[in-house]
Structure 1
Amino acid sequence: MSAPQLPGWRHVASGKVRELYRPQVADGTMLLVATDRVSAFDVVLTPAIPGKGALLTRLSRWWFEHLPDVPNHLVADQSAVPRAVRDRAMLVRSLHMHPVECVVRGYLTGSGLLEYRRTGAVCGVALPAGLQDGDRLPEPIFTPAFKAEPGEHDPNITFDEVVALVGSETAAGLRDTSLHMYATAERISRERGLLLADTKFEFGDDPVTGELVLADEVLTSDSSRYWDAAAYDEGRRGVGFDKQIVRDWIQEHWDGKGSPPVLPPEIVTQTAARYAELVDRLVS
């Protein structure tokens, strides 16, 4: 599906779930438009999830406001955002992006669990023996990944490999800022009956000042795992408000070869409802 034409803006890139525009007259800003597309295992699936782009944009804006001590790329004056995409777009600063997915895990699940079962560690961080799916970790851990080319899998890497990519000072900044933001977000989420199992941050440097800046979406259902705290306490782990429903269905119905199957209507409906419930519980 082609990106919409927006007067005064030039479309420059399409991601799995977002479209990127620059103004016709360059001014150091970009327009980041969230679509309703959904992806899993680095593949865009069909159909889209109705209303997803607007919900995730609302959540990102809310989290940017609730992380005031971390500089972010959101431009204060959003009046230049075209009306046609106002509910699902953010006007942001252009940055020199770092090629690192800054993943923080407070609980063990997903790809981290698979790596732990093979090696006893995640991204080189050794963990206690005997951990099970959904266990809370002794403390949150920084488990980065390398940002691969579009369409390719982002492989997990160690902190030493992050240092090799961006230098020791920047690597420490990425790690420490990510862990700080996770701690803040985990506390806020818990106050609202949610557990933030893990999340992913992205950063870039301001091209003028060199300041480390939080970028992209932040703490959304696409970049994070949120679980229901009450269900977790009752022993029902993984009752979530993200696209895990989609991941689970695809794993059960696709072997990764050829084109993925079309998502059934009930999976689309359930996923949309989970996205909406998370926004209601956090933002309300």
Structure 2
Amino acid sequence: MTVLNADLHCHSTVSDGTLEPEALAARAHANGVELWALTDHDEVGGQHRAAAAARALGLPYLAGVEISVTFLGRTVHIVGLGIDPDDPVLVAGLADTRGGRERRAREMAEQLAAVGIRGAFEGALKYVGNPELISRTHFARFLVETGVCHDTHEVFRRFLTEGKPGYVEHRWAALGDAVRWITGAGGIAVIAHPARYAWDNATQEYALFTEFKAHGGRAVEVVTGSHTSAEAVRYAELAREFDLAASRGSDFHSPDESHTDLGALPYLDGRLTPVWELLGDRIVH
């Protein structure tokens, strides 16, 4: 395998990150990243900026996106790497996926108001670079700013998660649609941070991998900012079992909030096929 300090999952102000695409490119380059992808949630509006910034730095780049999917009643994220960000079917699908976020955000604010936290919608909007992509992360920053919580980790222990005030379920794209949009745009679909989904049992996770592969998905994130070393070993085994390539990404959002910085991850298991080996012709130099 090609050993690379690849970071193929992060977010800018175009979705719910706090840095502009150009600042992310500079940070990745400064941190020794050798192949980078910006993967904003349900949005490709920062792709040309990110690619131009990476090219100016001599940093190899893969265009990317992270699509929100509803599968077995849970929100699952599918990363697309090596996409054409101007593909019309992908762009239209992402626009449709983003469509319900404002309505959901207003319902979240109503729930928070019911427990005495007022002005949350307007407060969250202050942190939104793209109003179509208002999310739980923006509400979390508001709750920290106003002193309701000490940090965003406390927010997600007390609010905005299932069974807690401010949680509103939303139906995203279908798994098959997300994979087809990515592959139709010339990219490879990747299951993002699989350990985060807290399935009720192993059968549900197996169903995700099985259906993902049946729709044409080809890779899984093995090393991520939210996986423990034991989880990386587990998903390396599942990658081999399902004959999937392996990806690596910090899921970096902010210098102040993210556990793992760009470029700071362990390397992939040498027995795996890195996803970038399948995407050589899609890398922008």
Q: TM-score, normalised by structure 1?
A: 0.28
TM-score, length-scaled by structure 2: 0.28
The structure carrying a bigger helix percent of its residues is 2
